[in-house]
Each structure stands twice: as structure tokens, then as C-alpha cells.
Amino acid sequence: MVMKIGTSFVLFLSLLAHVVDATSVFDISKYGAKGDGKTDIRPTLMNVWKEACASTTPTTILIPKTSYALNQIEFKGPCKAAINFEFQGTVRASSDISHFENNSPGLPGWITFAYINQLTVSGGGTFDGVGAQAWLKNNCQKTKNCIELPVSLVFNFVDNTRIRGITSLNSKAFHLQIFGSNNVTIEHVTITAPGDSPNTDGIHVGRSVGVNITDTTISTGDDCISIGDGTQQIHITKVSCGPGHGLSVGSLGRYEGEKEVVGIFVKNCTLTETTNGVRIKTWPASPKGAASDMHFEDIIMNNVANPVLIDQEYCPSNQCTKQHPSQVKISKVSFKNIRGTSSTQVAAKLLCSKGLPCENVEVGDINLTYKGVGGPAIANFTNVKPTFTGKQNPPFHAC
């Protein structure tokens, strides 16, 4: 009799556990969301979000394997427990840029997650930014007073967050933006847009601490990864980049009040046919700033223009004056074991500020070849006294 009661009690607990687990999953198809690719699911998602965010136990919001239309939305915390967004299907943005308002720092966002702790975005789904029509209206490379196009996925002030196994397709502006956040991991993410799509940075990180980006493939029209001011302790590993503008710290020094960049670690990455490789870029005539403890190691370059670059005269489309030097201090930088092919004769260039020369720059075991007009590859440095270790091909020369 005791054994029967005990067995029944165990079965009851097991059944209860299944019931509790079932109630923690919010399948939007059961809340009225239409997967016809036309009907906006924003109202449904907002209702589900309010309930999930108020839950005192971890919840999953499930977007099943079908196609959904989704207008601009913000998931704003704080919430009472961990939340997992399981995007299995495809969500498509509106092609009409008038549907997007600026509701976040920097650029406006299509899908924004803000003030959330213990957030996961996963599921293998696709975020289609439908950017082709918007790109025609982007003139930000020519003027500061340009139309602000929306970032596909914005993560503002999120902590202990994991973004895993999703695809961002044809964003109107940046694909992913991480701002004001702590302890964020991005892994097994695919980012895709044409090489000529303007301002479509793959991942932009600003004023965040402890961001890890790994096992990610980025093909886009701007920087594969760009690191803005105030960013600290960023680890980038096993990233494949191309097409795109490379893996970049900066640009820095464009605005007053920018915060120091400290601790950038880029390792075991491959760049293919990008317009830059690994680079640090600051504006001339800038306010004071600083960037230090930046390290690039074990990088493969496949037909990359400017494979190794410090550019403290970064001035796209002549939007500034080069008469006054950059006031961003660059120090404690290393480029080690960078190898492959350059698509331009200048395979490595360290162009530092004549007002604040770079300090503690180490170059070790560079092997970059160039086969084209003008002769073999060359490497040069200005306003810096690098420390060289190992072999350098091509050899570096002061200029």
C-alpha cells in the first residue's frame, strides 16, 4: 500500500511538472498570430510579452516555423524571470521606412529588447529586414544630416544575454546593435546582405562590457563588426567576414564625450575579399579620447584590401578636416600571426596621430603577399615606434 501511494505521488509530481512546463511556453500561434506573411503580429506579441514578462518563473515565447509580418516593436523590461525568445520561423519587416520611429539611443530599431536580465534569443529563425528599397535612400556616407534607417535587432541595457543560432537578412541599417549591456554572448549567428548595401554593419557594440562573439558568419556592406566608444572586454573568435569592411574598432572621436575603449581581443578569424582587414579608425580634429589593450591574433586574410590598418585620419567622403590631428590616444596594441593575401600593395599601414603618437604597438609574424601592379607588398608606419617580433613579410618601413 505504501509503495502504491509513493508511486502515485511520483506520477502526480511528474504530471504536475509537465503542466507547469507547458504553461511556461507561449506559442503565439495559439494566441491568434497569423502566419500568413501579411498580418502584423505585433499586437499578439505585445500581449504575450506582458504576460511572459510578469511571470515569476522562466518562460519561452515561441514563434513557430512559418512566415510572419512584424512592424516595429519594443520588448521592454525589467521582467521577473528569465525569458527565451524561440524564433523558429521568419519575421519580415515593413519596407516602408515611415513605419519606424527612433525609440532608442542612436539609430531607430525594428525589434528592440531593452532593460532585460537573463534574455535568450534563439531558434534558428530568420529576421528579414527587407532593406533593398531603404538602401536607395541612404546617403549617410555623404552627409551627417541623413535619413536614419532602422537597425534590425537592438539590444539596449540587457544583461546576461545569449543570442544564438539566428539569421539576420538584408537589414536596413545595422543588423545587430548591442548598447549599454553586460555579459552578452553571440554565437552561431549568420548575417547576410549584399556587399554594396550601405551602413549595414553586421554587429555594432557600444558602451558595453563583456561581449563574446564566436562561431559567426557575416557577409554585409559595411563593417562585419564595429566597436564603438565605451566598450570594454570584447572577445571575437572564429568569425568569418566577407564581403564587408572588416573587423573595426571605431570609428572613434567623431563626437564629444566619447568614453574610453579598453580590452579588445580578436582571434582565429578569417576575412575574405573585404575592403579592410583588422583596423582601428579615428577621426582627425577629434575631441580627446583613448583606446587601449587591443589585440589581433591568428587572422587569415584572403584577398583583403588593407589587411592591417591603424587609420587616425579616417574621414569618409571628406566630412571633416585633416588639418588638425586626432586626439584619440591609441596604446597597447598588437598584431600577431596575420597571414594571407592582400588585394592592394599596401598590406599593412600604421598611420597614427601626429598630435598623439601611438604607444606600445607590437607587430609579430606578419606574412602577407600581394600579386599585382606596382611590385610586391609593402608595409609602413607613421607617428609610432613599433616593436617587431618574429618575421615580417613585407618588412615595415617608417614614412
| Binned average pLDDT, 10 residues per bin, the chain of 399 residues | 43 40 80 96 98 97 98 98 98 93 77 98 98 86 74 98 98 97 98 97 98 98 98 98 98 96 98 98 96 98 98 87 91 98 98 97 98 94 98 96
Q: How many residues can be counted in the chain? A: 399
Residue at 36 is within a domain? no
Give the residue from 224, 191, 232, 208 showing the smallest Cα distance to 156: 208
Residue at 354 is within a domain? yes
What is the span of the domain harbouring residue 147? 86-398
> pLDDT tens-digit profile of 142-154?
666 677 899 999 9
User: Could you give the CA distance from residue 324 to residue 355 in angstroms, rounded to a whole number?
Assistant: 8
User: Could you give the CA distance from residue 176 to residue 223 in angstroms, rounded to a whole number?
Assistant: 12
Give me the pLDDT at residue 141, please.
Answer: 64
Residue 202 CB partners (closer than 8 Å, separation 6+): 168, 174, 175, 176, 191, 218, 220, 222, 223, 224, 225, 241, 244
Residue at 57 is within a domain? no
CATH number, position 169: 2.160.20.10
Residue at 112 is within a domain? yes
Residue at 384 is within a domain? yes
- Annotated catalytic residue, options 18, 99, 204, 245: 245
Give me the pLDDT at residue 321, please.
Answer: 77
Residue at 250 is within a domain? yes
Active site (annotated) includes residue 245? yes
| Total number of domains in the chain | 1
Residue 88 to residues 61, 124, 206, 212, 301: CA-CA distances in angstroms? 11, 5, 28, 23, 34
> pLDDT tens-digit profile of 102-138?
765 667 899 999 999 999 999 999 999 999 999 998 7
Residue at 299 is within a domain? yes
Prediction pTM value: 0.92
What distance, in Å, lies between the first and last C-alpha atoms of the chain? 92
